[in-house]
Chain A
Amino acid sequence: MRLADTFALAWGTLAQQPRRTALIGLAMSIGVGAVVVLTALGEGARGYVLEQFAGLGTNLIIVIPGRAETTGAAPGVLSGETTRDLTLDDADAVARIAWVAAVAPLNVGAAQITRGSLGREAVLLGSTAPLLTIRHMHLGLGHFLPPGPSDQATPVCVLGDKIRAELFGNANPLGGWVRIGDRRFRVIGTLAAQGQQMGFNTDEAVVIPVAAAQQLFNTPSLFRILIEARGRAAVPRVKTETLALLKTRHEGEEDVTVITQDAVLATFDRILTALTLAVGGIAAISLGVAGVLIMNVMLVSVAQRRAEIGLLKALGASGRSVRALFLAEAGLIATLGAAGGVALGLVASFVLGRVYPQLPIVPPLWAVAAAVATAILAGLLFAWLPARRAAKLDAALSLSRR
């Protein structure tokens, strides 16, 4: 029997019962549509997070004091401090490594900032001039921190947009004085409003020279050293050289942790991909349910069409041909359902994309392909039993019944 004839005959049977065919197709469509929409959402979330990270700069290398390792007791508990502080000298040394584009030491703390009678709590960032480019901040008014030796505690500050608005209102803040802790700082610039960026709001920050911050917090150590490599390819090299350099500077002990944006990015990527797969997998369960539905309907159909099956056998159809005929029916329904499901999923994704414009919702091609393949496979798999039953039907017996 020719393949085209098999499908033509199968199609004839399906077209005979349009409502039944449409309903099973719909069940398949819902399953496939669910997979498409949910994976699209998952991929959208992943794309959103990756985009946010890219906004922070993918050439970024961060040095954190202390070493990330698992020990029985917290380090320092038994033998006093084991980690050496990161210092400004460390930061200056790192800046001389080849392939390093810029280095910004960073101190973070909270401090009261006041102007006259107005005052509020602000996040204080102690850093140097390169911070602006490394963190992709944007300047609103005036200048950022002046370049120069990092240990110079010039009493100047740059205000986040919200701090500026609350302390100065509509007045020009440039050249004004504010009091931070027990010191006075001259405002030399403001940051443009940027809003939330990976959980940190620069609008509520105040940037001062790192040396001034160290004096203010009375500490010789740094919170972080931010390093920007010259290009993505240089990131691993700069990372190893930074580690080696800091090891020699810290009496041969590797007591810092160096993380790269890439590593963080890769971790998030993995987590969110796993999430997408999990959600897609759960949706795929409904394809199995649709498969059971196909099986049920096919079993009924085999029982109803005993005479026809017997006739086909009498006319010379082998068991194989009969089985092929029923599998073709199931395959056609599943394919139709899958096509409907993809259409359904695309429309739903488009609508969701309109509702949440910040999420890049596009169904991933692999998920669409996998959903369609699973649907067709489920259809054929669940039709196997009814098809086999039809193929094994006793022709003489089926024909004798009226």
Chain B
Amino acid sequence: MIQLDKISRTFQVGDQQVLALREVSLSIAAGEYIAIMGPSGSGKSTLLNLLGLLDRPSSGRYSLDGRDVTGLNEAESARVRRDKIGFVFQFFHLVPRLDAAANVALPLVLAGIAPAERKQRVAQLLADVGLSERADHLPSQLSGGQLQRVAIARAMSMHPALLLADEPTGNLDRATGREVMGVLEGLNQRGATLIVITHDQEIGARARRRIGMEDGRVISDTAT
């Protein structure tokens, strides 16, 4: 599903070139469950941003679902993100003024789906994460675990094939974190490719494939 070929990414910091990724090559099949681990500054987040088309590699080639997405323009990559990729963030990133249902509906709104269908799909998504009765709650009225479950429902609203989670449990206590991971793993079992960045060894150990990173390089990969 995902084919990374010698992907590098350099950042300009002042007058210094910082190499965040050094010729990373990876191959990920559909339906995999991967944990990317490594110390901060190892390039995990950069890799995730590149996978999510939020950033472009300085060199190398990225193909998603057999299609070269390296040279896509801004509008095209927005469309790919919308249709194929779901994001879950450490800080949830819910829009504070919108209630849970409206937050979940955001990708559907951006995709231009009619309100009637939106309503139906949002109800199903919230039911899937067990928050049906919280649909009209504002983010400020929800607990951390509930916030992350709303965010997961939002990430799944367009039925993406690829689910990217950047430290999804980083802001949650251990029990809630396990619960949230359970929800994500449930989605993986239903077919979504799940890639999780984490510091947490325990969370990382749950993944079937673990990729270790350091200094912008892949230093270990349980698949090879």
Contact = CB atoms under 8 A, between A and B. Distances in A.
B52 A314 contact: yes
A12 B87 contact: no
Interface string A386-400: 000000001110011
Contacts of A311: 93, 95
Contacts of A312: 106, 110
Q: How large is the interface on A (under 10, 10 to 19, 20 to 34, 35 or more residues)?
A: 20 to 34
Given A396-B49, A399-B54, A318 B87 contact: no
9 closest Cβ contacts across the A-B interface? Answer: A316-B82, A318-B78, A396-B54, A396-B49, A318-B75, A315-B107, A396-B55, A311-B93, A395-B54
A402 interface: yes
B52 A308 contact: no
A308 B95 contact: yes
B89 interface: yes
A321 interface: yes
Interface stretch (A1-9, A39-47, A64-72, A198-206): A1-9
B45 interface: yes
B81 interface: yes
Interface of A: 1-2, 5, 9, 12-13, 16, 307-308, 310-321, 394-396, 399-400, 402
Given A312-B110, A396-B54, A318 B79 contact: yes
Nearest to A392: B74
Contacts of B112: 1-2, 5
A308 B74 CA distance: 18
Contact of A9 (B75, B107, B109): B109
Interface of B: 45, 49, 52, 54-55, 74-75, 78-79, 81-83, 87, 89, 91, 93, 95, 97-98, 106-107, 109-112, 154, 158
Contact of A12 (B49, B97, B107, B154): B97
Given A2-B112, A396-B49, A399-B54, A316 B107 contact: yes
Nearest to A318: B78
A15 to B, nearest CB: 8
A399 to B, nearest CB: 7
Nearest to A6: B109
Nearest to B105: A5
Contacts of A313: 54, 78, 81
Q: Interface on chain A toward B: helix, strand, loop, or mixed SS? A: helix
Contacts of B109: 1-2, 5, 9
A399 B158 contact: no
A221 B55 CA distance: 95
Nearest to A325: B110
18 contacts: A1-B110, A1-B111, A13-B97, A16-B97, A307-B93, A312-B106, A312-B110, A314-B81, A314-B87, A315-B81, A315-B82, A316-B81, A316-B107, A316-B111, A317-B78, A317-B82, A396-B49, A399-B54
Contact of A316 (B55, B78, B89, B95): B78
Given A396-B49, A396-B55, A399-B54, A315 B110 contact: yes
Contacts of A395: 54
A319 B78 contact: yes
A396 B49 CA distance: 6
Given A12-B98, A315-B87, A315-B154, A320 B75 contact: yes
A316 B79 contact: yes
B97 to A, nearest CB: 5
Nearest to B90: A402
B89 to A, nearest CB: 7
Contacts of B95: 308, 311
A395 B85 CA distance: 15
Given A311-B95, A315-B154, A399-B54, 6 more contacts: A9-B109, A313-B78, A317-B110, A321-B78, A396-B54, A399-B89
Nearest to A319: B74
